[in-house]
Amino acid sequence: MKTAASLIAVLGLATAANAGGSLSALSIGTLSGGDSVSGSTIGASDDLAGADGFVLGGTWTGGDDVYSLDWAGGDLVATLDFITANGDIDLYVWGDDGATVLLGSSEGTGDQEVVEVLGLAAGKYFIMVDGWLGDENRYDLSVNGIPSPASAALLGLGGLVATRRRRA
């Protein structure tokens, strides 16, 4: 009982101390649609969970990397590739700077995590790579868009017109 009360007190103090935290302040880089980056949570601090972070709950207990995302709008696909046997890591997409609006997450047990957010408005978002229950790993992260069916049809039609003009 004492251990639980002490843990709650420590968590409460940490939350109060980090109440003004922001993902912008933790960001280690900025991504846009079509970008890819290689990274590592090995030795990364645990800024978003438990006693060290400003977001409590979930399994965000490992070191984390945060990226700002300047998104032009449309369907977002964030893909995280890694080797699970070296340590399980998870992927989160946040809709605000305070990590209070979680738009999507992937917490699987395979070598890839994928988060799709359909119809995402243009703006600034945040992507977090986090070690599950303290795991660490190296990874490749890519951010891409999915063209809507209408956009894909227009692109195909544009290619057809360009091909026709070349033959003339």
How does pLDDT run across 85-141, given as a tens digit for each residue?
999 999 999 999 988 899 999 999 999 999 999 999 999 999 999 998 889 999 999
How does pLDDT run across 18-36, given as a tens digit for each residue?
344 789 999 999 999 999 9
Query: With the CA atoms of 98, 100, 101 and 107 taken in that order, what torsion angle do they form, in degrees rounded to the nearest 10?
Result: 110
Inter-CA distances, 31 with 20, 90, 95, Å: 24, 18, 15
Looking at per-residue confidence, does 2 or 55 come out higher?
A: 55
How does pLDDT run across 144-162, given as a tens digit for each residue?
987 555 444 444 544 444 4
Q: How far apart are CA 51 and CA 5, in angstroms?
A: 14
Q: Which domains does the chain have, with CATH numbers?
A: 23-157 (2.60.120.380)
- Residue 58, pLDDT score: 57
Q: Where is average pLDDT lowest: 6-20, 57-71, 75-89, 99-113?
A: 6-20
Looking at per-residue confidence, does 54 or 47 come out higher?
A: 47
Q: How far apart are CA 124 and CA 70, in angstroms?
A: 5
Of 35, 42, 31, nearest to 82 by C-alpha is: 42
Tokens of 77: 């696909």
What DSSP line would sit under 12-58, residue for residue?
Answer: HHHHHHTTT--HHHHEEEEEETT-EEEEE-TT----SSGGGSS--ST
Q: How far apart are CA 145 and CA 149, in angstroms?
A: 12
